[in-house]
Amino acid sequence: MAAWFVMLILLTTIMLTAAAQISQPEWGASFLIISSSITNLVIITFVILMLTRFRPNLQEGKEYAEWLKDQNAYSEGIITTNLHSKQINVIQEKLESLKSESEDLEIVERIEDSLLLDVSISPINGANELVDILDQSGIRASVYQDEYELNESVSFRDHQAIWLGDKINPALALKVIKIAVKHWPHLKYIHLSTDSGGPEEIDWQIYLGGSTQSAVKRYKLKPWSNDEILSIEAQSIHDLHQKIKAKYP
Protein backbone atom coordinates (compact mmCIF):
# COMPACT_ATOMS: atom_id res chain seq x y z
CA MET A 1 0.00 0.00 0.00
CA ALA A 2 2.93 2.31 0.63
CA ALA A 3 3.99 1.76 -2.98
CA TRP A 4 0.45 2.59 -4.11
CA PHE A 5 0.50 5.91 -2.23
CA VAL A 6 3.90 6.79 -3.70
CA MET A 7 2.56 5.97 -7.15
CA LEU A 8 -0.54 8.08 -6.47
CA ILE A 9 1.54 11.11 -5.45
CA LEU A 10 3.86 10.75 -8.45
CA LEU A 11 1.06 10.29 -10.99
CA THR A 12 -0.97 13.19 -9.58
CA THR A 13 2.08 15.47 -9.52
CA ILE A 14 3.03 14.58 -13.10
CA MET A 15 -0.49 15.04 -14.49
CA LEU A 16 -1.19 18.34 -12.67
CA THR A 17 2.23 19.73 -13.60
CA ALA A 18 1.63 18.78 -17.24
CA ALA A 19 -1.88 20.32 -17.09
CA ALA A 20 -0.42 23.62 -15.85
CA GLN A 21 2.10 23.77 -18.71
CA ILE A 22 0.21 22.34 -21.66
CA SER A 23 -1.48 24.76 -24.07
CA GLN A 24 -2.21 22.54 -27.05
CA PRO A 25 -4.57 20.90 -27.64
CA GLU A 26 -7.04 23.05 -25.73
CA TRP A 27 -8.70 20.07 -24.09
CA GLY A 28 -5.37 18.60 -22.92
CA ALA A 29 -5.26 20.38 -19.55
CA SER A 30 -8.84 19.45 -18.72
CA PHE A 31 -8.20 15.83 -19.71
CA LEU A 32 -5.17 15.60 -17.39
CA ILE A 33 -7.02 17.18 -14.47
CA ILE A 34 -9.97 14.79 -14.88
CA SER A 35 -7.60 11.83 -15.24
CA SER A 36 -5.83 12.87 -12.06
CA SER A 37 -9.12 12.94 -10.17
CA ILE A 38 -10.19 9.55 -11.50
CA THR A 39 -6.80 8.04 -10.62
CA ASN A 40 -7.10 9.35 -7.06
CA LEU A 41 -10.56 7.87 -6.67
CA VAL A 42 -9.59 4.48 -8.10
CA ILE A 43 -6.46 4.07 -5.95
CA ILE A 44 -8.20 5.28 -2.77
CA THR A 45 -11.03 2.80 -3.45
CA PHE A 46 -8.56 -0.07 -3.78
CA VAL A 47 -6.77 1.00 -0.58
CA ILE A 48 -10.09 1.06 1.31
CA LEU A 49 -10.86 -2.44 0.01
CA MET A 50 -7.44 -3.67 1.13
CA LEU A 51 -8.03 -2.28 4.64
CA THR A 52 -11.55 -3.68 4.96
CA ARG A 53 -12.60 -6.65 2.83
CA PHE A 54 -9.06 -7.95 2.23
CA ARG A 55 -7.57 -6.95 5.59
CA PRO A 56 -6.95 -10.61 6.66
CA ASN A 57 -4.77 -11.05 3.56
CA LEU A 58 -2.38 -8.41 4.91
CA GLN A 59 -1.56 -10.42 8.04
CA GLU A 60 1.74 -12.15 8.70
CA GLY A 61 2.03 -15.68 7.34
CA LYS A 62 1.22 -17.51 10.59
CA GLU A 63 -1.81 -15.35 11.44
CA TYR A 64 -3.07 -15.55 7.84
CA ALA A 65 -2.78 -19.35 7.88
CA GLU A 66 -4.83 -19.50 11.10
CA TRP A 67 -7.49 -17.26 9.56
CA LEU A 68 -7.64 -19.40 6.40
CA LYS A 69 -8.02 -22.57 8.44
CA ASP A 70 -10.95 -21.09 10.35
CA GLN A 71 -12.56 -20.04 7.06
CA ASN A 72 -12.33 -23.58 5.66
CA ALA A 73 -9.90 -22.46 3.00
CA TYR A 74 -6.61 -23.96 4.18
CA SER A 75 -5.21 -27.15 5.56
CA GLU A 76 -2.00 -27.63 7.54
CA GLY A 77 -1.49 -30.93 5.77
CA ILE A 78 -2.99 -34.34 6.10
CA ILE A 79 -2.23 -36.67 8.97
CA THR A 80 -0.09 -35.74 11.95
CA THR A 81 3.07 -36.68 10.04
CA ASN A 82 2.45 -33.81 7.58
CA LEU A 83 2.65 -35.89 4.42
CA HIS A 84 2.68 -34.00 1.15
CA SER A 85 -0.03 -34.39 -1.46
CA LYS A 86 2.22 -36.49 -3.72
CA GLN A 87 2.91 -38.92 -0.89
CA ILE A 88 -0.80 -39.14 -0.15
CA ASN A 89 -1.48 -39.94 -3.78
CA VAL A 90 1.10 -42.74 -3.64
CA ILE A 91 -0.62 -44.18 -0.56
CA GLN A 92 -4.00 -43.99 -2.26
CA GLU A 93 -2.68 -45.72 -5.36
CA LYS A 94 -1.26 -48.57 -3.28
CA LEU A 95 -4.51 -48.88 -1.34
CA GLU A 96 -6.48 -49.02 -4.59
CA SER A 97 -4.14 -51.77 -5.77
CA LEU A 98 -4.76 -53.66 -2.51
CA LYS A 99 -8.51 -53.30 -3.00
CA SER A 100 -8.33 -54.95 -6.38
CA GLU A 101 -6.16 -57.80 -5.05
CA SER A 102 -7.58 -58.34 -1.58
CA GLU A 103 -10.41 -60.72 -0.85
CA ASP A 104 -11.44 -58.74 2.23
CA LEU A 105 -12.26 -55.28 0.89
CA GLU A 106 -13.65 -54.07 4.23
CA ILE A 107 -10.29 -54.47 5.98
CA VAL A 108 -8.49 -52.48 3.29
CA GLU A 109 -11.09 -49.72 3.52
CA ARG A 110 -10.64 -49.54 7.29
CA ILE A 111 -6.88 -49.24 6.79
CA GLU A 112 -7.47 -46.47 4.25
CA ASP A 113 -9.74 -44.58 6.64
CA SER A 114 -7.33 -44.87 9.56
CA LEU A 115 -4.38 -43.68 7.46
CA LEU A 116 -5.99 -40.77 5.70
CA LEU A 117 -8.58 -39.43 8.13
CA ASP A 118 -7.49 -36.31 10.00
CA VAL A 119 -9.76 -34.74 12.63
CA SER A 120 -8.83 -31.23 13.74
CA ILE A 121 -10.60 -29.35 16.51
CA SER A 122 -10.88 -25.62 16.99
CA PRO A 123 -8.83 -24.47 20.03
CA ILE A 124 -11.75 -23.36 22.19
CA ASN A 125 -13.13 -24.45 25.55
CA GLY A 126 -13.65 -28.21 25.72
CA ALA A 127 -11.38 -29.03 22.77
CA ASN A 128 -9.00 -31.28 24.73
CA GLU A 129 -11.91 -33.18 26.25
CA LEU A 130 -13.32 -33.80 22.77
CA VAL A 131 -9.92 -35.10 21.62
CA ASP A 132 -9.94 -37.58 24.52
CA ILE A 133 -13.50 -38.73 23.75
CA LEU A 134 -12.67 -39.31 20.08
CA ASP A 135 -9.44 -41.10 21.03
CA GLN A 136 -11.37 -43.45 23.30
CA SER A 137 -13.61 -44.22 20.31
CA GLY A 138 -10.58 -45.17 18.21
CA ILE A 139 -10.44 -41.93 16.22
CA ARG A 140 -7.22 -39.94 16.09
CA ALA A 141 -7.83 -36.22 16.60
CA SER A 142 -5.88 -33.15 17.62
CA VAL A 143 -6.52 -29.58 18.64
CA TYR A 144 -5.56 -27.29 15.78
CA GLN A 145 -2.17 -25.74 16.55
CA ASP A 146 -2.30 -27.18 20.04
CA GLU A 147 1.11 -25.77 20.90
CA TYR A 148 -0.77 -22.57 21.73
CA GLU A 149 -3.00 -22.12 24.76
CA LEU A 150 -6.71 -22.69 24.25
CA ASN A 151 -8.66 -19.48 23.79
CA GLU A 152 -11.43 -20.15 26.29
CA SER A 153 -12.77 -16.61 26.01
CA VAL A 154 -13.94 -17.23 22.42
CA SER A 155 -17.71 -17.62 22.17
CA PHE A 156 -19.11 -20.94 20.98
CA ARG A 157 -21.45 -18.89 18.78
CA ASP A 158 -18.47 -17.97 16.60
CA HIS A 159 -17.49 -21.63 16.03
CA GLN A 160 -20.63 -23.57 15.11
CA ALA A 161 -19.50 -25.13 11.83
CA ILE A 162 -18.22 -28.56 10.81
CA TRP A 163 -16.06 -28.78 7.67
CA LEU A 164 -16.38 -32.31 6.30
CA GLY A 165 -14.01 -33.91 3.80
CA ASP A 166 -15.99 -35.32 0.90
CA LYS A 167 -13.96 -38.55 0.55
CA ILE A 168 -14.47 -39.79 4.11
CA ASN A 169 -16.40 -43.00 4.66
CA PRO A 170 -19.96 -42.00 5.68
CA ALA A 171 -20.08 -44.31 8.71
CA LEU A 172 -16.82 -42.88 10.01
CA ALA A 173 -17.81 -39.29 9.21
CA LEU A 174 -21.14 -39.64 11.00
CA LYS A 175 -19.46 -41.29 13.97
CA VAL A 176 -17.13 -38.29 14.40
CA ILE A 177 -19.89 -35.74 13.84
CA LYS A 178 -22.32 -37.34 16.27
CA ILE A 179 -19.69 -37.66 18.99
CA ALA A 180 -18.77 -34.00 18.45
CA VAL A 181 -22.38 -32.81 18.59
CA LYS A 182 -23.01 -34.69 21.85
CA HIS A 183 -19.98 -32.96 23.39
CA TRP A 184 -20.48 -29.61 21.66
CA PRO A 185 -24.24 -29.15 21.11
CA HIS A 186 -23.57 -25.67 19.68
CA LEU A 187 -22.44 -27.23 16.36
CA LYS A 188 -25.15 -26.43 13.80
CA TYR A 189 -23.67 -26.19 10.31
CA ILE A 190 -22.04 -28.78 8.04
CA HIS A 191 -20.23 -28.03 4.79
CA LEU A 192 -18.48 -30.36 2.35
CA SER A 193 -14.90 -29.78 1.26
CA THR A 194 -15.80 -30.38 -2.38
CA ASP A 195 -17.84 -27.17 -2.28
CA SER A 196 -15.25 -24.98 -0.58
CA GLY A 197 -12.56 -24.70 -3.24
CA GLY A 198 -9.80 -25.67 -0.80
CA PRO A 199 -6.74 -27.87 -1.39
CA GLU A 200 -7.10 -31.61 -2.04
CA GLU A 201 -5.88 -32.51 1.46
CA ILE A 202 -9.07 -31.28 3.13
CA ASP A 203 -11.05 -34.00 1.34
CA TRP A 204 -9.84 -36.37 4.09
CA GLN A 205 -10.21 -33.94 6.97
CA ILE A 206 -12.94 -33.09 9.45
CA TYR A 207 -12.64 -29.74 11.17
CA LEU A 208 -14.85 -29.26 14.23
CA GLY A 209 -15.63 -25.72 15.34
CA GLY A 210 -15.25 -23.77 12.10
CA SER A 211 -16.28 -20.17 11.61
CA THR A 212 -20.00 -19.48 12.05
CA GLN A 213 -19.58 -16.35 9.95
CA SER A 214 -18.25 -18.37 7.02
CA ALA A 215 -21.06 -20.90 7.35
CA VAL A 216 -23.79 -18.25 7.42
CA LYS A 217 -22.47 -15.41 5.28
CA ARG A 218 -20.14 -17.18 2.86
CA TYR A 219 -21.92 -20.49 2.33
CA LYS A 220 -25.42 -19.38 3.45
CA LEU A 221 -26.02 -22.69 5.22
CA LYS A 222 -29.19 -23.49 7.15
CA PRO A 223 -28.70 -24.72 10.74
CA TRP A 224 -29.22 -28.30 11.85
CA SER A 225 -30.80 -29.14 15.18
CA ASN A 226 -28.96 -31.63 17.40
CA ASP A 227 -31.71 -34.19 16.91
CA GLU A 228 -31.51 -33.83 13.13
CA ILE A 229 -27.75 -34.42 13.12
CA LEU A 230 -27.98 -37.38 15.48
CA SER A 231 -30.64 -38.98 13.29
CA ILE A 232 -28.67 -38.80 10.03
CA GLU A 233 -28.09 -42.21 8.47
CA ALA A 234 -26.31 -42.87 5.17
CA GLN A 235 -25.31 -46.02 3.30
CA SER A 236 -22.99 -44.34 0.82
CA ILE A 237 -20.93 -41.19 0.39
CA HIS A 238 -23.38 -39.92 -2.22
CA ASP A 239 -26.28 -40.49 0.15
CA LEU A 240 -24.54 -38.61 2.96
CA HIS A 241 -23.66 -35.70 0.69
CA GLN A 242 -27.22 -35.41 -0.56
CA LYS A 243 -28.54 -35.24 2.99
CA ILE A 244 -25.97 -32.61 4.00
CA LYS A 245 -26.80 -30.51 0.95
CA ALA A 246 -30.42 -30.38 2.08
CA LYS A 247 -29.25 -27.51 4.32
CA TYR A 248 -27.50 -25.71 1.47
CA PRO A 249 -29.16 -22.55 0.05
pLDDT digits (tens, 9 = 90+) for 53-69: 777 666 666 566 556 65
pLDDT for the residue 187: 96
**Residue-range domain boundaries for the chain:** 2-58, 63-247
Per-residue model confidence as pLDDT tens digits over 161-219: 999 988 888 888 999 999 999 999 999 999 998 776 666 667 888 999 988 988 999 89
98 contacts: CB under 8 Å, gap ≥ 6: 108, 111
Per-residue model confidence as pLDDT tens digits over 131-147: 999 989 888 888 886 44
Give DSSP secondary structure letters for 41-110: HHHHHHHHHHHTTTGGGGS-HHHHHHHHHHTT---S-BTTTTB-HHHHHHHHHHHHHHHHH-S-HHHHHH
pLDDT for the residue 225: 95
Lowest mean per-residue pLDDT among 6-15, 96-105, 115-124: 96-105
pLDDT for the residue 202: 77
pLDDT for the residue 64: 61
Whole-structure pTM value: 0.59
End-to-end CA separation in angstroms for the chain: 37
* Region of residue 72 (phi > 0: left; psi between -120 and 50: alpha; otherwise: beta): left
pLDDT for the residue 39: 85
